[in-house]
């Protein structure tokens, strides 16, 4: 008992306190403190080769050896893109996401591809039995004989197995089920999750094993356990998606080896997760014909333009305070745009309810969709149909001007690829866009110009 210290941890954010508190000073959550014993004696993890703190002697930057062909491809293009071009040996990747979104499926597919390429892969599951994993594996396809599975929740055993087998890639499904005997608290508690991640980090860096960790998310959508978990790992990926739609989006929120604004789009099928190479086509599928209040806009997700349909419904309010709803985009931004339309265009919206929706369940907050939102609202108010072949993008300023957006040329190209014939875009982008054949570009300076154009059509 001598070496055991009792501390209280907030289960939401990992705030540490010597005493129990009702409200967490860190995240302001109520009743989240739980008593956890913390061991003050630390056993050596036993991993020594190339350990992070292994050298007391500083090295010259130029003398540090780099392994050739640093990155390994997972053969899943969308995942490689989010990782920044493949997996980096010795990195620790955290994959978070809602229950049942497909985390285990995706990682099992990664295992299949990597083992088929001749890498040794170890899948450690603390949640499912070997039989259950086999069942999923059958659904996904054929596996290489070298693929190894282990059902284990004891971290010390996991470490020993890793040291013995030295796989190139290991999957831990999930971090909340792992426990270390050194830490007295229950699996999934803050100190256990932190300790487990720490040990896994040492294994990853020490033995050069790439480790993927599955993490459950809390109600708020953060990885359950403390935020420190996200600091410890190299890359944090979130798997998100609409419960009712079959597509899933993989997003990097932290990446030490690549950009964080790329997304990967997948569709859940019987045979596992399939890549969606052209998300715009997928999202625009099933658009209503000749309907007012709909327009196609374009948002950049990393280096990829994504076209979505924006829908608006404006109707007379029955109550004193009009009701406004925004699904898939920023509510305050929609209010701001409606105020601009009211003041600068003279549209009477003060006594109208307005509902704005990004079709397909995508979430978009890029200001480039402003013009699309405005046109959809105008189209609904005036009950005019915007032609199917028209796409619009541009940021709207408070004085009603249409401002420049980045990568206008790429957006126009994407519209052309998907068969659009007209694009409304900011005048200021004129110099940066080369006109592709067979598509009409309408440059507008103010929001009023764009409205005049669609009224004429």
Ligand X SMILES: Nc1ncnc2c1ncn2[C@@H]1O[C@H](COP(=O)(O)OP(=O)(O)OP(=O)(O)O)[C@@H](O)[C@H]1O
In the complex, the residues that contact Mg ion under the rule CB under 5 A are 104
Q: Which residues contact 435 (CB under 8 A, 6 or more apart)?
A: 441
Find which of ligand X, Mg ion, none residue 180 binds, CB within 5 to 8 Å per kind. none
Distance CA 14, CA 222 (A): 12
Check if the beta carbon of residue 298 is closer than 8 Å to that of residue 305.
Answer: yes
Q: Which stretch binds ligand X (CB under 6 A): 7-15, 19-27, 95-103, 224-232?
A: 95-103
Spatial contact of 280 and 414, defined as CB atoms under 8 Å apart: yes
Could you tell me how many residues of this chain bind ligand X (CB under 6 A)?
A: 12
For the bound state, the minimum distance from the C-beta of residue 375 to ligand X, rounded and expressed in Å, comes to 36
83 binds ligand X (CB under 6 A): no
CB of 35 to ligand X, least distance (A): 27
CB of 103 to Mg ion, least distance (A): 5
Q: Is the peptide bond before 207 cis (omega within 30 degrees of 0)?
A: no
Nearer to Mg ion, 97 or 305 (CB): 97
Told to check if 258 binds ligand X by CB under 6 A, we report no
> 317-348 burial string, b = 16+ CB within 10 Å, else e?
beeeebebebebbbeebbeebbebbeebbebe
Rule CB under 6 A: say whether 94 interacts with ligand X.
no
Tell me whether residue 19 is exposed, middle or buried, using C-beta atoms within 10 angstroms of its C-beta: 0 to 12, 13 to 18, 19 or more: exposed
* Greatest Cα-to-Cα distance within the chain, rounded to the nearest angstrom: 83
Q: Is 270 in the site for ligand X (CB under 6 A)?
A: yes
Q: Are 214 and 172 in contact (CB under 8 A)?
A: yes
Of positions 83, 101, 424, 447, contacts ligand X by CB under 6 A: 101
Nearer to ligand X, 102 or 279 (CB): 102
CB closer to ligand X, 13 vs 101? 101
Within the chain, how many helices (H) and strands (E) appear? 11, 21
Q: Which of 56, 59, 69, 99 binds ligand X (CB under 6 A)?
A: 99
Shortest spacing between CB 136 and ligand X, in angstroms: 7
100 binds ligand X (CB under 6 A): yes
- Cα→Cα distances 152→172, 192, 331, Å: 10, 15, 45
Q: Of 55-63, 92-100, 183-191, 363-371, which part binds ligand X (CB under 6 A)?
A: 92-100
Give the DSSP H/E element, type plus range, for residue 279: helix 279-284
Near ligand X in 107-136, by CB under 6 A: 127
* Least distance in angstroms from the C-beta of 133 to Mg ion: 10
Q: Are 82 and 256 in contact (CB under 8 A)?
A: no
Question: Of 100 and 221, which CB lies nearer to ligand X in the complex structure?
Answer: 100
Q: Give the Cα separation of 409 and 325 in Å (integer).
A: 32
- 243 touches ligand X (CB under 6 A): no
25 binds ligand X (CB under 6 A): no
Q: DSSP 3-state assignment of 284? A: helix
Q: What x/- string results for residues 132 through 161 when contact with ligand X is judged by CB under 6 A? A: -------x----------------------
- Considering the complex, state which of residue 72 and residue 248 has its C-beta at the smaller distance from ligand X: 248
Question: Which residue, 104 or 119, is less far from Mg ion as judged by CB?
Answer: 104
Contact 6, 33 (CB under 8 A): no
32/104 with CB nearer Mg ion: 104
248 sits near ligand X (criterion: CB under 6 A): no
CA 46, CA 40: separation in Å to the nearest integer?
Answer: 18
Q: Among ligand X, Mg ion, none, what does residue 99 contact (CB within 5–8 Å per kind)?
A: ligand X
Residue 14 binds ligand X, judged by CB under 6 A: no
How far separated are the first and last CA of the chain, in Å rounded?
Answer: 81
Chain contacts with ligand X (rule: CB under 6 A): 97, 99-105, 127, 139, 268, 270
């Amino acid at each position: 008992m001598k070496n055991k210290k009792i501390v209280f941890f907030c289960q939401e954010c990992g705030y540490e306190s010597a005493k129990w508190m009702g409200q967490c000073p860190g995240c302001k959550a109520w009743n989240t403190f739980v008593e956890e014993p913390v061991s003050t004696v630390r056993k050596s993890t036993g991993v020594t080769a190339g350990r992070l703190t292994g050298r007391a002697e500083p090295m010259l930057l130029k003398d540090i050896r780099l392994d050739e062909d640093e990155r390994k491809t997972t053969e899943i293009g969308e995942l490689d893109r989010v990782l920044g071009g493949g997996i980096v040996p010795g990195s620790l990747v955290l994959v978070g996401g809602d229950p049942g979104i497909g985390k285990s499926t995706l990682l099992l597919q990664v295992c299949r591809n990597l083992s088929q390429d001749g890498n040794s892969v170890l899948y450690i599951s603390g949640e499912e039995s070997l039989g259950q994993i086999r069942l999923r594996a059958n659904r996904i396809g054929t596996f290489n004989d070298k693929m190894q599975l282990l059902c284990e929740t004891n971290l010390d055993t996991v470490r020993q197995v890793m040291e013995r087998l030295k796989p190139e890639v290991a999957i831990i499904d999930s971090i909340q089920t792992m426990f270390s005997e050194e830490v007295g608290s229950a699996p999934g508690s803050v100190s256990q999750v932190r300790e487990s991640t720490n040990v896994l980090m040492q294994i990853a860096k020490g033995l050069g094993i790439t480790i993927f960790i599955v993490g459950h998310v809390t109600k708020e959508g953060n990885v359950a356990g403390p935020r420190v978990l996200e600091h410890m790992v190299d890359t944090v990926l979130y798997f998100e998606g609409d419960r009712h739609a079959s597509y899933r989006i993989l997003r990097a929120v932290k990446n030490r080896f690549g950009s964080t604004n790329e997304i990967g789009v997948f569709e859940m099928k019987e045979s596992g997760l399939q890549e969606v190479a052209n998300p715009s086509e997928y999202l625009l599928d099933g658009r209503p014909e000749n309907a007012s209040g709909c327009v196609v806009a374009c948002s950049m997700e990393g280096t990829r333009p994504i076209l979505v349909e924006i829908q608006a419904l404006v109707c007379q309010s029955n109550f004193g305070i009009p009701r406004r709803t925004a699904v898939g985009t920023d509510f305050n931004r929609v209010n701001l745009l409606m105020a601009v339309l009211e003041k600068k265009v003279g549209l009477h919206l003060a006594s109208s309810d307005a509902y704005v929706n990004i079709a397909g369940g995508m979430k978009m907050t890029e200001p480039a969709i402003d013009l699309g939102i405005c046109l959809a609202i105008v189209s609904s108010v005036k009950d005019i149909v915007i032609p199917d072949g028209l796409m619009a993008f541009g940021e709207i300023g408070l004085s009603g001007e249409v401002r420049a957006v980045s990568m206008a040329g790429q957006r126009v190209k994407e519209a052309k690829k998907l068969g659009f014939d007209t694009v409304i875009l900011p005048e200021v982008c004129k110099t940066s866009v080369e006109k592709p054949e067979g598509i009409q570009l309408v440059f507008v300076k103010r929001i009023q110009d764009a409205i005049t154009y669609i009224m004429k059509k």
